[in-house]
């Protein structure tokens, strides 16, 4: 993604990195692997080690709210769950955070019960933090936005989505009436966003919001079918009761739908690559069989 964002933006953001302007000190800026709409760099200067993330315009299509991100990232950082923020852009075009020297998780961690228990306890800490007032999370609206994008490119295909959208609305209504206390949720628990460095750190908070804490677990299970059989363990360690298991199963289906709609729209807009077709079909199969997600590799996630 590094080639599609303006060089001027990168230089302007680098100027905000502590120590970058000190010509007498060694410094380096190395691209990090990641998503397709943002560009990230590890920046090392005499003042420290930092991560610079430049934001692509496509983020808005995924429901990113930069104001929410900064507020919730800062709260999580104060609790030791996220890396410290160093500098932000008022226009939301970039973010600079401390680099966490540790080991980034792999997909294999998301099938390991001991790792999932560790993650569940970290999520319990996150969900127990005081909740600020931020813009409301509207997954139903986001689903409709994706469906409208599909409708503009494939009218017949969009018509087939209507029953699923209705089912999603019913799931959201049941979650709203369940009475669980809204919590800060990370909302993008991909293994690449988890770093082990003495404790677990969650990075990349751009989808963070205040919502039903079940949604954090649902996001995880939507990404990783192999973790589904450990759903009760996750509920236990995250401090949720097992009576929420049914809600978790339904919310997982909803998050699979959200990912599927994103990939379907992306395939229609960009042309069907073999990789995109495989991602789309894996998600479609899970939607068709909500009980089939107890095995397999990590499901794809929306591009960052």
- CATH code (residue 33): 3.30.200.20
Residues 158 and 226 grouped into a single domain = yes
Residues 94 and 138 grouped into a single domain = no
Which CA distances in Å does 81 have to 108, 215, 255, 294? Answer: 22, 18, 23, 29
Residues 179 and 277 grouped into a single domain = yes
200 in a structural domain: yes
252 in a structural domain: yes
pLDDT of residue 35: 60
92 in a structural domain: yes
Residues 94 and 113 grouped into a single domain = no
294 in a structural domain: no
Residues 48 and 113 grouped into a single domain = no
Instruction: Please give the Cα distance from 104 to 86 (Å, whole number).
Output: 21
Residues 84 and 176 grouped into a single domain = no
Number of separate domains in the chain: 2
Residues 219 and 163 grouped into a single domain = yes
Which CA distances in Å does 253 have to 47, 165, 167, 250? Answer: 45, 11, 10, 5
Token code pair at residue 224: 């990783």
- Write b or e for each residue in 190-222: b if 16 or more Cβ atoms lie within 10 A of its Cβ, otherwise e: bbbbbbbeeebbbbbbbbbbbbbbbbbbbbbbb
128 burial level (CB within 10 Å; 0-12, 13-18, 19+): middle
Domain that residue 209 falls in:
103-288
- Among 75, 98, 121, give the residue marking a domain's end: 98
Residues 163 and 66 grouped into a single domain = no
Q: What pTM was computed for the model? A: 0.88
- CATH code (residue 111): 3.90.1200.10
Q: Identify the helix (H) or strand (E) that includes residue 94.
A: strand 94-98
- Write b or e for each residue in 3-21: b if 16 or more Cβ atoms lie within 10 A of its Cβ, otherwise e: eebeeeebeebbebbeebe
Instruction: Please give the Cα distance from 142 to 201 (Å, whole number).
Output: 27
Which residues on adjacent β-strands are paired with residue 95? 53, 88
Residue whose structure tokens are 């059989």: 229
Output the furthest CA–CA distance in the chain (Å, rounded). 63
Residues 126 and 25 grouped into a single domain = no
pLDDT digits (tens), the chain, 304 positions: 444 567 888 888 898 998 888 866 668 989 887 665 688 999 999 889 999 999 876 665 566 888 999 999 999 999 999 999 999 888 888 999 999 999 999 999 999 999 999 999 999 999 999 999 999 899 999 999 889 888 888 887 778 888 999 999 999 999 999 999 999 999 999 999 999 998 999 999 999 999 999 999 999 999 999 999 999 999 999 999 999 999 999 999 999 999 999 888 888 877 667 776 788 888 988 888 864 333 344 555 554 5
Residues 57 and 107 grouped into a single domain = no
Which residues on adjacent β-strands are paired with residue 29? 43
Query: Which string of DSSP letters, residue by residue, matches 244-300?
Result: GHHHHHHHHHHHHHHHHHHHHHHHHHH---HHHHHHHHHHHHHHH-TT-TTSSSPPP
Q: How many helices (H) and strands (E) does the chain have?
A: 9, 10
Residues 173 and 237 grouped into a single domain = yes
- Among 74, 98, 122, give the residue marking a domain's end: 98
């Amino acid at each position: 993604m590094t080639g599609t964002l303006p060089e001027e933006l990168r230089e302007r953001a680098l100027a905000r990195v502590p120590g970058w302007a000190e010509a007498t000190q060694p410094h380096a800026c190395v691209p990090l692997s990641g998503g397709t709409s943002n560009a990230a760099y590890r920046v090392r200067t005499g003042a420290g080690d930092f991560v610079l993330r430049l934001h692509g315009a496509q983020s808005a299509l995924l429901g990113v709210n930069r104001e929410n991100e900064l507020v919730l990232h800062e709260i999580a950082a104060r609790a030791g769950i996220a890396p410290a923020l160093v500098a932000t852009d008022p226009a939301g075009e970039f973010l600079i955070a401390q680099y966490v020297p540790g080991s980034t998780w792999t997909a294999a961690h998301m099938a390991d019960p001991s790792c999932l228990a560790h993650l569940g306890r970290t999520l319990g800490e996150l969900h127990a933090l005081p909740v600020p007032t931020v813009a409301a999370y509207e997954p139903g609206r986001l689903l409709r936005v994706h469906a409208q994008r599909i409708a503009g490119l494939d009218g017949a295909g969009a018509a087939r989505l209507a029953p699923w959208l209705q089912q999603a609305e019913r799931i959201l209504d049941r979650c709203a009436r369940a009475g669980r206390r809204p919590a800060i949720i990370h909302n993008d628990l991909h293994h690449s966003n988890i770093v082990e460095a003495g404790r677990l750190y969650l990075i990349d908070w751009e989808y963070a919001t205040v919502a039903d804490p079940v949604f954090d677990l649902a996001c995880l299970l939507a990404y990783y079918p192999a973790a589904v059989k450990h759903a009760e363990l996750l509920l236990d360690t995250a401090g949720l009761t097992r009576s929420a298991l049914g809600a978790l199963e339904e919310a997982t289906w909803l998050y699979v739908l959200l990912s599927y709609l994103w990939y379907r729209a992306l395939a229609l807009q960009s042309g069907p690559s073999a990789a995109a077709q495989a991602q789309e079909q894996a998600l479609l199969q899970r939607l068709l069989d909500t009980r089939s997600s107890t095995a397999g590799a990590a499901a794809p996630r929306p591009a960052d």
